[in-house]
Structure 1
Amino acid sequence: MKNKKLLIFTFLIFGVTWSQDSKNKSVNIDAKVSELLSKMTIEEKVGQMTQITVTIFEDRAKPGYFDAAKLKQGIQDYHIGSILNVPNPGAPTLKRWQETQTAISTEANKTRLKIPILYGIDAIHGASYTAGATLFPQQIGLAATFNPSLVKRGAEISAYETRASSIPWVFSPDLDFPRNPAWSRMWESFGEDAYLSSQMGVALVSGYQGNNVGSKYSVAACMKHYIGYGSTTTGKDRTPSIIPERILRQYDLTIYQAAINAGAKSVMVSSGEINGTPVHASKQLITDILKKELNFQGVVVTDWKDIIYLYTRHKVAESNRDAVRIAIMAGIDMSMVPEDFTFYTDLVDLVKKGEVPMSRIDDAVTRILRMKFELNLFENSVANLKDYPKFGSAEHIQEAYNAAAESITLLKNEASVLPLSKTEKILVTGPTSNSMKYLNGGWSYTWQGENSDTYAAEKSTILEAFQNKLGKENVLYAQGADLEKEDEAEIQKAVELAKTASKIVLCLGEKNYTETPGDISNLYLSSSQIKLALALAKLNKPIVLVLNEGRPRLISDFENKMNAVVQCYLPGNEGARALVDILYGDVNPSGRLPYNYPKYPNSLEKYNRKYTESISEGEQNDDAKYEKSYSPQFEFGTGLSYTTFTYSNLKINKSEITTSEEVNVSVEVSNSGFKAGKEAVLLYLTDNVASITPEFKVLKRFEKISLEPNETKTVKFTLNQKDLQFVNQDLKWIAEPGTFTIQIGNLKKDFSLK
């Protein structure tokens, strides 16, 4: 007992000391920022708010290398504070990044105040713009793990390898809340649930920034894209959204609030518009809600050209200069201009003529300088490569493999066709079966990810992973189909080879893409792939459908002819190894869908749908038939295993609670099968009657556990009052008296709020 008291006392003293040190550090930084700000001219301040793409400074005769005069002009004449993006031709080595950042740092140190440049990059699934880096699954796959600790560890590795590249700032996590599965950035999100998204967002922010964002192994996170970006009415990128404020507050804002509470240092603003107002022009959204109501103290940066687009696309500004005024007064701190210095010249003019007050400039520059001090850029902005011996190491690669293995989701397994037997001859076919592009997707080495086969040549495609496990002589291969073009000869070649195989592994999906190049008008898989699937199905041989896709492309034309369905999402460089290990049972699958997989293009209900989204004519009064018209291909949370899990003994500590009490929930989960496995235990809550029409069910908690055969664990959750609340018509969070239902697995329990 004495030792225990001593341990508690030591912990308390350490906690107080750490808290005091953190507070003192913050006060010290604020003093440094104030002192530096007092020395700056208008031009130097506006320069800090200017972000330019790195390729503008390159020597035309020597792509990837700086023209010294251009770099000097940008940093010394225009005083730019930030640079982004990747030198040509893409994916520099660590040494080239070091050389690039050294040149930038050297030029910055020649300026009057020697303010370092803040360099940012879209390293969204690892240090994805550095040759040899460890690439993780894209965010949608991370969401499917339902394992925040695994996601946090991946972010720590991503931060380590990004800092090794001398880059201190990543444009991640993506906290978009997509409402249309056709959206081309669906895979950059955490799916359709706000609670899951908030937990995964916190995991990424915590992993990136660590306990000390100024560490040489941490980076500043940038939440994006604030706000409503994934809710376009058309499903196309950068198109308008119509979202009532009540809905924004109940869902979208909760995700950002969680990441802000986790300490996220910056936020990127949505390129879209909500209810007719571009977000970049919205003082209500940026200043009143984000900065004041949510108390966000970090840097607000635009997306690519989005101030200019207020004039050229949105048509809410009369000129580029007017667009600058509107955006800065809305609360923008930094403009990703990014290809000229018009923002700088326009904003200097606006300040000097009194159209933008100095107080707004000082607020923006204070935020930018604070982040630079927090990142320790004034001490050193170039990495010493000797400090990063684990870059691209076997340890890091194993973590990426683990993430991929826990993300891959088994959706269907008729007659236990999986796992496969290593004695069987397998046909691997389909357009996504032999390319790294379809494993990594966009933002991989290059913007659209088109060069992954070059930069990740030493990694395994799905075909190569099969060959590595079984030997080439036991793996038949035919491409079978192109992603877009129809080729009957290729289909017939695959069919003929399939006749000699025991089973078929059919790899279908999408091209690599992001943003507008990924826009589609048809959610079905391409006709060339559907024809291949139907042709192979006529052979009456077992088919395992493997999907590599960033969004749920419709497969209802042939899904009933597939014996197994495996969703890989975009699993990264180690994804093929993980997939093949799962298909052969060396790894037990444990991923769960982070979205509803729709069956039809006009049936896109979310899992937390309203009751009126699921009724058929004449069935309004029959609760048992509410499900009839709700028929997704696979529902949110679907995820099979090679073992079985049994839920029992669901308990809640109180059947009635007051408005100040919590609800403690427990459930026993048993592995009733014969194979060790991992299970994501999901707790759903239903408010049975409410003044705002309630949702069918809503995810409120989850925990991933590991169980050996015949092992049982008790999983405990606590629900608080906020979990019972919704946003009412007055935009207030309220909980109304009534009955609530808790559901875990196939078990349900009710309690009442008095």
Structure 2
Amino acid sequence: MRAFGGNLFAGVCINLPYNPGWGRSQETYGEETYQIGQMGAALVRGVQDEDVMACVKHFAFNQMENARFKVSVTCDQRTEKEVFLPHFKDCLDAGAASVMSSYNRYNGVHCGHNRYLLRQVLKDEWDFDGFVMSDFCWGVKDTVEAANGGQDMEMLWTQHFGPKLVKAVEDGFVPMEYIDEAALRIIRTILAFDKDHKEYDMSVVACPEHIAVAKEAAEKSITLLKNEGVLPLCKEKTKKLALIGKLANEAVIGDHGSSWVRPPYVVTPKEGLEKYNQNCQVEWNDGSDLESAKKLAAEADAVVFVVGYTHDDEGEYVSAEENTNYTGSVGGDRKFSLGLHEDEIQLLKEVGPVNPKSTAVLIGGNTIMMTPWYDSVNSVIMAYYPGMEGGTALAEILYGDVNPSGKLPYVVPVSEKDLPQVDWEATDQYYEYYHGYTRLEKKGIKPLLPYGFGLSYTNFAFSDVSAQKQEDQVLVSVKVKNTGDRDGDEVVQVYVGFENSAVDRPVKQLRGFKRVSLKAGEEKQVEIPVSLEKLKWYDPVCREWKLENMEYTIYTGSSSANEDLITTSIQL
């Protein structure tokens, strides 16, 4: 950012996908409030350690893309405080310099001039001392309401501030003290980051160190979801590899909206596999002709399908209907289905069973329904949008040079009906308390794949879990052993159960996690702190957070599924 001459990074997107069809899910970290907050806070610290202001967005309740300019969101107080706002506070507690308001309305009021959100919650309750900026282009609708509501800066060009704001002050509609406050917040923050800031030149952009980080990010995030003895592939025995699907030969790295990145190159799956094993004939087929795909699959030693989405299917959406300054439309919500395209489903169902060594690699930013074709292939990998080195990382994982260690940041249900339903073109939308894995667990519905799930080429065992109260936290300790014959990473997850609660609460919620590297046969004692603040519930009658005096169940393991967890308990 500094190399390009910038001083602010407006890329800390931490909106929570109420339904995974939200087009910009790929920009955030998953469905779990706690996880989003921890990952977002880490990004804030990393950005600001380089003397760049981090802007957290979109505040708040921005979980619908196509209707974002018109929808008004409502929810009850507990849902607001416990589900949709905590991750924003986590990022502010990490020191975020700026907050971007969202386009949508909350309780009928535009978030860009919502006094309750911007002044009462953000600046008063949370003591935020940075500045608020509007969402870019059309984020402010009214001069007086925005200034009085707590908006500090209109982006990207002046439509309602500037001369209109001067006149509003002169006419007595906006107090001068609000202008002084906004100016102070902006100038104070900019100066704090501008003084003696680090200097970089353009040579650091896509330098070898950054390329290595891009590759590492892909390696650690790609998630193995199913493996019936197919993976890893044997380099010596795989002489002919069938690579099927149009996305296998395309540079697909995500949205073409405001989060669009333009690296100097992108390694496609085809390029990555060809380079990795040069003694293997990688034959690509786009999958449009099922008979030719079947013939290729039957002749190959193994088959890899690459299917999923591109920026045309999901991403930021701007419609010409809303703004005459824009003449096209891209991305948007997955309004009609969370599944693959029909031709890809047919491809997997008909060609997958042809070869006993078949792997489906999924490209996309959130939950992709798998039920229709899941049994037609022998292994499944979620690659997400793996970035510029994605093809390299994918090849290394398929062949076992890298042991997969990613975990699903969302649940994959058997049916879309198990998830909260959203009218993607609505003008009014009510958000319920439960969504994602907490909804399925509360209803007793078993998912196809649980939240936090991800396989490895080795195995891990958990034992001797304990929990002790230490001042303002519970310290969870557990032994983790690599019981297999390969080195690997495990993401140790801690969930807290509230079955003894006097109020309606989730069955359990993620409240801690840590990545641990273990050599084959190695065992480590892992400690994960759980903040007592994260165990409280919000009492809307008393308008305060409360820690219940009761016994809490502590679950520790490799996913949210009960069979992957061991338990202990603690009285608080």
The TM-score, its normalising length taken from structure 2, stands at 0.88
Matching of residue 399 in structure 1 with residue 200 in structure 2? no
State the Cα RMSD in Å.
2.3
Matched with 2:93 is 261
Query: 1: distance between equivalents of 2:119 and 2:528?
Result: 36
Q: Equivalent residues in 2 for 1:675-694 (5 A)?
A: 675-694=486-505
1:237/1:515 contact within 8 Å kept: no
Taking a change above 3 Å as real, the CA distance of residues 553 and 749 of structure 1, as seen in their structure-2 partners, is same
Query: 1: distance between equivalents of 2:405 and 2:441?
Result: 30
Matched with 1:183 is 22
Taking a change above 3 Å as real, the CA distance of residues 237 and 500 of structure 1, as seen in their structure-2 partners, is farther
Matched with 2:77 is 245
Q: Secondary structure at the match of 1:602?
A: helix
Q: How much has 1:563 moved relative to structure 2?
A: 0.7
Taking a change above 3 Å as real, the CA distance of residues 435 and 237 of structure 1, as seen in their structure-2 partners, is farther
Unaligned runs of 5+ in 2: 318-330, 420-434, 558-564
Task: Name the amino acid aligned to 1:736.
Answer: E
Matching of residue 735 in structure 1 with residue 565 in structure 2? no
Taking a change above 3 Å as real, the CA distance of residues 262 and 610 of structure 1, as seen in their structure-2 partners, is same
1:5-29: CA deviation from partner (whole Å, max 9, x where unpaired): xxxxxxxxxxxxxxxxxxxxxxxxx
Q: How much has 1:227 moved relative to structure 2?
A: 1.1
Match of 2:390 among 572, 575, 585: 575
Matching of residue 420 in structure 1 with residue 238 in structure 2? no
Query: 2: distance between equivalents of 1:541 and 1:714?
Result: 39
Query: 1: distance between equivalents of 2:60 and 2:478?
Result: 37
Matching of residue 497 in structure 1 with residue 296 in structure 2? yes
Q: How much has 1:559 moved relative to structure 2?
A: 0.9
1:209-253: CA deviation from partner (whole Å, max 9, x where unpaired): 11xxxxxx43110000011112x4x98555332222221211332
Matched with 1:198 is 37
Matching of residue 368 in structure 1 with residue 180 in structure 2? no
Query: 2: distance between equivalents of 1:366 and 1:244?
Result: 34
Query: 1: distance between equivalents of 2:398 and 2:498?
Result: 40
2:481/2:522 contact within 8 Å kept: yes
Matched with 2:333 is 519
Q: How much has 1:360 moved relative to structure 2?
A: 0.9
Q: Secondary structure at the match of 1:466?
A: helix
1:184/1:518 contact within 8 Å kept: yes
1:290-347: CA deviation from partner (whole Å, max 9, x where unpaired): 0111111111000123345x4xxxxxxxxxxxx1111111000011143x55532221
2:353/2:377 contact within 8 Å kept: no
Query: 1: distance between equivalents of 2:474 and 2:193?
Result: 41
Taking a change above 3 Å as real, the CA distance of residues 723 and 331 of structure 1, as seen in their structure-2 partners, is closer
Q: How much has 1:574 moved relative to structure 2?
A: 0.9
Identity %: 32
1:237/1:519 contact within 8 Å kept: no
1:130-166: CA deviation from partner (whole Å, max 9, x where unpaired): xxxxxxxxxxxxxxxxxxxxxxxxxxxxxxxx11011
1:577-636: CA deviation from partner (whole Å, max 9, x where unpaired): 11110010000001101111233121125222376522xxxxxxxxxxxxxxx1322111
1:205/1:259 contact within 8 Å kept: yes
Matching of residue 509 in structure 1 with residue 308 in structure 2? yes
Q: How much has 1:274 moved relative to structure 2?
A: 2.2
Matching of residue 354 in structure 1 with residue 354 in structure 2? no
1:406/1:591 contact within 8 Å kept: yes
Task: Name the amino acid aligned to 1:335.
Answer: E
Query: 1: distance between equivalents of 2:503 and 2:446?
Result: 24
Matched with 2:59 is 226
1:630-650: CA deviation from partner (whole Å, max 9, x where unpaired): 132211110100000011111
Query: 1: distance between equivalents of 2:200 and 2:503?
Result: 57
Task: Name the amino acid aligned to 1:184.
Answer: G
Query: 2: distance between equivalents of 1:688 and 1:739?
Result: 9
Task: Name the amino acid aligned to 1:371.
Answer: T
1:307/1:327 contact within 8 Å kept: no
Q: Secondary structure at the match of 1:241?
A: strand
Q: Equivalent residues in 2 for 1:431-442 (5 A)?
A: 431-436=246-251, 438=252, 440-442=253-255
Matched with 1:277 is 109
Q: How much has 1:538 moved relative to structure 2?
A: 4.3
Q: How much has 1:405 moved relative to structure 2?
A: 0.4
Deviates further, 280-289 or 472-481: 472-481
Matching of residue 480 in structure 1 with residue 287 in structure 2? yes
> What is the number of equivalent residue pairs in this alignment?
530
Task: Name the amino acid aligned to 2:316.
Answer: E
Taking a change above 3 Å as real, the CA distance of residues 236 and 506 of structure 1, as seen in their structure-2 partners, is farther
2:241/2:282 contact within 8 Å kept: yes
Matching of residue 294 in structure 1 with residue 126 in structure 2? yes
Taking a change above 3 Å as real, the CA distance of residues 356 and 719 of structure 1, as seen in their structure-2 partners, is same
Q: How much has 1:167 moved relative to structure 2?
A: 0.8
1:236/1:519 contact within 8 Å kept: no
Task: Name the amino acid aligned to 2:301.
Answer: S
The structure, 1 or 2, with the larger RCO (C-alpha pairs under 8 Å, 6+ apart) is: 2
Query: 2: distance between equivalents of 1:209 and 1:448?
Result: 19
Q: Secondary structure at the match of 1:532?
A: helix
Matching of residue 596 in structure 1 with residue 407 in structure 2? no
Query: 2: distance between equivalents of 1:350 and 1:546?
Result: 56
Matching of residue 674 in structure 1 with residue 475 in structure 2? no
Q: How much has 1:470 moved relative to structure 2?
A: 1.8
Matched with 1:486 is none
2:491/2:515 contact within 8 Å kept: yes
2:59/2:99 contact within 8 Å kept: yes
What stretches of structure 1 move > 6 A for 4+ residues in a row?
Answer: none
Match of 2:361 among 546, 570, 577: 546
Q: Secondary structure at the match of 1:163?
A: coil
2:266/2:387 contact within 8 Å kept: no
Task: Name the amino acid aligned to 1:282.
Answer: N
Query: 1: distance between equivalents of 2:232 and 2:197?
Result: 52
Match of 1:535 among 350, 360, 375: 350
Instruction: Please state which structure has a larger fraction of its residues in helix.
Output: 1
* Structure with max Cα Rg: 1
1:679/1:704 contact within 8 Å kept: yes
Query: 1: distance between equivalents of 2:189 and 2:394?
Result: 40
1:598/1:634 contact within 8 Å kept: yes
2:2/2:200 contact within 8 Å kept: no
Query: 1: distance between equivalents of 2:137 and 2:397?
Result: 43
Query: 2: distance between equivalents of 1:163 and 1:650?
Result: 45
Match of 2:380 among 565, 577, 590: 565
Query: 1: distance between equivalents of 2:468 and 2:154?
Result: 52
Matching of residue 650 in structure 1 with residue 465 in structure 2? yes
Q: Secondary structure at the match of 1:650?
A: strand
Instruction: Please state which structure has a larger fraction of its residues in strand.
Output: 2
Task: Name the amino acid aligned to 2:295.
Answer: E
1:95-135: CA deviation from partner (whole Å, max 9, x where unpaired): xxxxxxxxxxxxxxxxxxxxxxxxxxxxxxxxxxxxxxxxx
Q: How much has 1:431 moved relative to structure 2?
A: 2.2
Query: 2: distance between equivalents of 1:642 and 1:235?
Result: 40
Q: Secondary structure at the match of 2:6?
A: coil
Task: Name the amino acid aligned to 1:351.
Answer: V
1:254-297: CA deviation from partner (whole Å, max 9, x where unpaired): 21112112111101001112232221231011011101111111
Task: Name the amino acid aligned to 1:391.
Answer: V
Q: How much has 1:699 moved relative to structure 2?
A: 0.8
Q: Secondary structure at the match of 2:191?
A: helix
Match of 2:7 among 165, 168, 190: 168
Q: How much has 1:697 moved relative to structure 2?
A: 0.8
Q: Secondary structure at the match of 1:172?
A: strand
Query: 2: distance between equivalents of 1:673 and 1:448?
Result: 40
Query: 2: distance between equivalents of 1:380 and 1:574?
Result: 30
